[in-house]
Structure 1
Amino acid sequence: MRRRLLRTARRLVVVSVVSLVAVSCSAVPPTGDAFRVNGVGYPDEKFSVLLEALSGGGQFQVTNGKVNAETYTSILFTLVRHESYRQWASELGLAENTQDRTAAEARAATTPNWDSIPQTIKELIIELNTAERVIARASVPAGDQLRRMYETAPATSGVMCASHIIVTTRAEAKAVMARLDAGEKFADLAREVSIEPIAKDSGGSLGASPDDPCQRVQDFQVSLDPAFVTAMVNARVGVPTGPIQSSFGWHVVLNRPFDEIGDALRTTISDKTGTSLLAGWMTGADIVIDPKFGTWNTARSAIE
């Protein structure tokens, strides 16, 4: 964990010089924030201080005062996720304690050349490590709470339990929708008409494995076509939705009813519970990025 967070901190260095050059030439939005999560802003000034603290590292090449977009998005995503963590943990009543902080500080202190790292960056690394300890303490929502989360907005449960039928044309997808409206079963139609090679066995399931109809939302977001992910995250539970175009064809999608997948959902969310719940929470948050850095895709929880 420490190494990953330190790599994140090192990647921040790339942005620092760029920020001091590029940001000074850009119009600052009325909010004066690099980003906002549910109205809580991270000030541009604070972002500049962080970048300035990183600028002396020299681990990255900056060309003509510019840095690649991947670096900016990596840094901003880390900060957006951390602010999201603060709000999510507060809602759940998860609080950082002395043991969390002490353990994070002790781990950080073993880092080579720790004493030479700027204090601002030290504090960020410790905060990120502390947060991961708190995230790891999250528990599976009790009783009917998980059902309510899933049925209200599936992704907010931290797990997606979805199926799809993919065909070549929009007309074919509309024909699939008509047959579903007439009462045919989704899995049977997937086996019959979907051009996905494994559909005859899977019935169109997008689960993590043939025996698991679900997968963690963060895995779902990065493994599937962006347009498809957006449609799935916004689709209602138990209601076939389409036609939806992706780079692979035309889809009809279904977030499966809780009664069909409830046990599998609980099994999936029981592994990496906090990480999945936080990722799910972010799909329902109002996150805005300063346009000079990109835009926030809510369904994918990504800066584009």
Structure 2
Amino acid sequence: MTERQKILVVDDSASNRQLLGELLQADYTVLLAKNGEQALLRTRQQLPDLILLDVVMPEMDGYEVLSQLKADLHTASIGVIFITGLDTPADEERGLLLGASDYITKPFHPAVVKARVAVHMQVARQRRMLETLANIDALTELPNRRQLDAVLAAECSRAGRTGNPLSVALLDVDFFKPYNDFYGHAMGDRVLQSIARVLSGNLKRPCDVAARYGGEEFVLIMPDTPLDGALELAEALCRAIAELHIPHEKSTDYACVTVSIGIASSRAAVQPTADSLLQVADSRLYQAKAAGRNRVLAE
């Protein structure tokens, strides 16, 4: 069954939120936000397919909300329809130039809103299909190196602006070449697929990303996560992979497939970069290998 598309309705008027919610709930999963701050938080947490956004709101207006959405890689491609009482050409031009997909003036006609939403939802479905083809590793179905680089660069930029912690883990399959040589590349591919399922199955937040870095290496990107939180997650992943009990006769340390993980975490006073975090994570990974593998070492 196809998952219902999600639409976020942002309006400081409770009656408008209720009206739009009731209008659209039969066809979509409707999320509600009463101000700009709440809209940004729920967009990042839920990643809706489309946002209906009021312009005139206290504290943070719709233009500022749209600007922040477009500045964040995770939310930049989400379609935004302004629904507002501002009806001058200048108002509409400003919204469209900032990146709005459409502009509906109040009072709106329900049939028009439903029709325009349907059109933009179709566009969202097509866009996500194309993004999937371009950004997904064919073997593991995780984000590929291209997507990893883009997400990590964006998260480094955001961590630098907010001062929030950003943690990165580099994971490598222990003795993978001997495994491939002994069991064959087809079985090696199955190991990578199994590990990818463990990674994706244990990430609970939409903002966390597990990606294939290359070969038998994977990267975890954990925004707003301090070192201790990243260490806890990585250790759980390390155990879960070992508990798959995939036989590995050519491992000199363990009788099954294991992984080693190195972790790096940003500091509030320093602007993180993708290269600096990955270099530190790689160094910790090397130390984990030297210490006996099947373990996690952190900065």
What TM-score do the two structures reach when normalised by structure 1? 0.27
Q: Which has the higher helix share?
A: 1
**Relative contact order, CA 8 A, sep 6+: which one is greater?**
1
Q: Which has the higher strand share?
A: 2
